Structure 1
């Protein structure tokens, strides 16, 4: 499915399964953004052990975006999106939408009919992305409390809302 918001830049970008060599570039992209920072090891692990449920977007050999995701144990019909990162100079071109669609079309997601993610209330871009995905797939997007603010050990971390999209096919 092609998003109505895609631009010609998307045609110059490839969407693929990451290799372990992509882990460092993913970490660097996050560290140059406002995304929650994880250790470099997290990205290496995602590329090594969850590559079939992750996506990298590249223009030539430059990583311009990624998704880290996994299918939760005991819930083979759900793909949980852990993190989406887009290089700041590529935002607004439909790359995140294309990565989500690439992911759910994979063989590894053949039993997936729900997508879940947690999003902070201030992250309007991600909220719009998931609501648009639901609209594009003619399904619902339910938003519920995910992780309340008081669960986070550091001061000032916003609550995380759970977005549940589906069913879709």
Structure 2
């Protein structure tokens, strides 16, 4: 953990964090914003496969939401990653991903991570390719959802990034 992250706690989300996660997603300017209800449900039903970064007052300043794929129980699908504008550039998204996969790797034996990224999202591409290199994993890419599958107007295709196999962090050997 870097000095920039030292004042932050990586934690499981609680239902009371749902509104903050919705606001951070809304303010991101890049994420597809889901209903506020969905963030409340996520914080209830998928807290075990998600993480929040909290400031010194315990308020969420970043999050990663994910779930274990039912057909691939050793694969974490990362749904959304966002960090509050005031906290960007400190490596918080990377710390969230590392903390989450370390926690659920230990609990559930996760060996791979999947996420989807639109071709215009260079920041997410950097986040996940650097995650893969930190964890000694390869990255494969394939279009998962073509643009014409989205019913609600123009949408970039969603490219599936598969990262794995994950190797244990050297500190935990």
CA contact (8 A) 2:104 2:110 kept: no
CA drift of 1:110 comes to 3.1
Residue by residue over 1:43-63, the C-alpha shift from the partner in whole angstroms, topping out at 9 and shown as x without a partner, is: 111110111100000112221
CA drift of 1:74 comes to 2.2
Aligned to 2:170: none
Q: Partners in 2 of 1:73 and 1:145 — Cα distance?
A: 21
Q: Partners in 1 of 2:104 and 2:67 — Cα distance?
A: 14
For structure 2, the residue ranges without an aligned partner over 5 or more in a row are 168-173
CA contact (8 A) 1:104 1:110 kept: no
Matched, 1:56 2:58: no
Give the total of aligned pairs.
Answer: 164
- SS of 2:61's equivalent in the other structure is strand
Q: Partners in 1 of 2:122 and 2:67 — Cα distance?
A: 23
- SS of 2:52's equivalent in the other structure is strand
CA contact (8 A) 2:77 2:113 kept: yes
Aligned to 2:160: 162
Match of 2:81 among 79, 84, 90: 84
CA drift of 1:107 comes to 4.4
Matches within 5 A, 1:90-129: 90-107=87-104, 109-129=107-127
Residue by residue over 1:88-144, the C-alpha shift from the partner in whole angstroms, topping out at 9 and shown as x without a partner, is: 121121111111111111146532100000000111010001000111111101111
CA contact (8 A) 2:13 2:47 kept: yes
**TM-score, length-normalised on structure 2?**
0.90
For structure 1, the residue ranges without an aligned partner over 5 or more in a row are none
Q: Partners in 1 of 2:27 and 2:99 — Cα distance?
A: 25
Q: CA RMSD in A?
A: 1.3
CA drift of 1:28 comes to 1.0
Bigger relative contact order, structure 1 or 2 (CA pairs below 8 A, ≥6 apart): 1
Matched, 1:9 2:4: yes
**Larger CA deviation: 81-90 vs 105-114:** 105-114
Q: Partners in 1 of 2:46 and 2:103 — Cα distance?
A: 13
